[in-house]
Amino acid sequence: MKPPAATHSPRYIVIEGPIGVGKTTLVNRLSQRFDAHTVLEIFEENPFLADFYENREAFAFQTEMFFLLSRYRQQEEFAQADLFGRMSVSDYLFVKCRLFASLTLSDHELTLYDRMYSILTTQVPTPDVVVHLHAPLDVLLERIKKRGRSYEEDMDPDYIERLSRLYNTYFSHYDETPLIEVDTSDVDFSQDDQAVDDLMNQIVQAHQQALAPAPAVEF
pLDDT digits (tens, 9 = 90+) for 205-218: 999 998 887 665 66
Closest to 129 measured CA to CA, from 1, 2, 4:
4
| Known catalytic membership, residue 91 | yes
Answer with the residue of higher pLDDT: 34 or 130: 130
Distance (Å) of CA 125 to CA 27, 36, 53, 160: 18, 17, 30, 28
Is residue 7 domain-resident?
Answer: no
Residue 95 structural domain: 12-204
Catalytic residue, candidates 35, 51, 82, 91: 91
Is residue 141 domain-resident?
Answer: yes
Is residue 92 domain-resident?
Answer: yes
Mean pLDDT for the stretch of residues 154-178: 94
**For the purposes of burial, counting CB atoms within 10 Å of the CB of 75, is it exposed (0-12), middle (13-18) or buried (19 or more)?**
buried
The number of angstroms, rounded, from the C-alpha of 149 to the middle of its chain's C-alpha atoms is: 19
Beta bridge partners of 12: 88
Mean pLDDT for the stretch of residues 92-112: 96
* DSSP 8-state assignment for residue 32: H
Q: Tell me if 8 sits within 8 A of 129, measured CB to CB.
A: no
Is residue 185 domain-resident?
Answer: yes
Q: How far apart are CA 191 and CA 22, in angstroms?
A: 12
Q: Does 43 score more than 90 pLDDT?
A: no
Mean pLDDT for the stretch of residues 77-101: 86
pLDDT of res. 219: 59
Is residue 6 domain-resident?
Answer: no
Q: Tell me if 197 sits within 8 A of 48, measured CB to CB.
A: no
Is residue 216 domain-resident?
Answer: no
Give the neighbor-by-neighbor strand order of the sheet with 12-16: 37-39, 88-90, 12-16, 129-134, 179-183
* Average pLDDT along the chain: 89
Band the pLDDT of 4: cuts 50, 70, 90. low
* This prediction's pTM: 0.90
Closest to 64 measured CA to CA, from 95, 91, 92, 104:
104
Q: Residue 119: which CATH number?
A: 3.40.50.300
Angle at which helix 193-211 crosses helix 23-34, to 10 degrees, equals: 80
Is residue 164 domain-resident?
Answer: yes
Query: What total number of domains does the chain contain?
Result: 1
Is residue 1 domain-resident?
Answer: no
Q: What is the pLDDT of residues 177-194, one digit of tens each?
A: 999 999 999 999 999 999
* DSSP 8-state assignment for residue 34: H
